[in-house]
Amino acid sequence: QVQLVQSGAEVKKPGASVKVSCKVSGYTLTELSMHWVRQPPGKGLEWMGSFDPEHGETIYAQRFQGRVTMTEDTSTDTAYMDLRSLRSEDTAVYYCATAYGDYRGFDYWGQGTLVTVSS
């Protein structure tokens, strides 16, 4: 069984950066492919990006291109999502998600990390 535990809530000022972590247990990160999804307060789910093992690269949603970087530390089985140049519209709960087997699956989710952007 895969478990994902995310870092705690963050409050950031506009223009700052935030780095959210997602610690994997039950499997190693090399056996999984990580996705990141966000959800603004009271709104729906928005895909941000995923690691695609078939192409060996991370695919980002167009609207975050240049502002987001998703990385992995296989020595600690921890994935990271770094979002820069924050604006108020980035206030949201950020989730990591993954699956074992089909790299496109979103079978397991972290508990979410609330990022609040406010001056």
The answer to whether 46 contacts another protein (rule: CB under 8 A) is yes
Nearer to another protein, 74 or 111 (CB): 111
Min dist. Cβ of residue 95 to another protein (A): 6
Tokens of 15: 């223009």
The residue among 18, 21, 17 whose CA lies nearest residue 6 is 21
Q: How far apart are CA 119 and CA 54, in angstroms?
A: 41
Binds another protein (CB under 8 A): choice among 7, 12, 105, 116: 105
Min dist. Cβ of residue 59 to another protein (A): 5
Query: Measured between alpha carbons, how far is residue 118 from residues 8, 13, 16, 77, 106 in Å?
Result: 17, 5, 10, 31, 30
What part of residues 1-40 is at the interface with another protein (CB under 8 A)? 35, 37
The residue among 100, 107, 97, 119 whose CA lies nearest residue 20 is 97
62 phi and psi angles, rounded to 5 deg: -55, -40
Min dist. Cβ of residue 49 to another protein (A): 9
What part of residues 55-84 is at the interface with another protein (CB under 8 A)? 59, 61-62
The answer to whether 111 contacts another protein (rule: CB under 8 A) is yes
Min dist. Cβ of residue 20 to another protein (A): 14
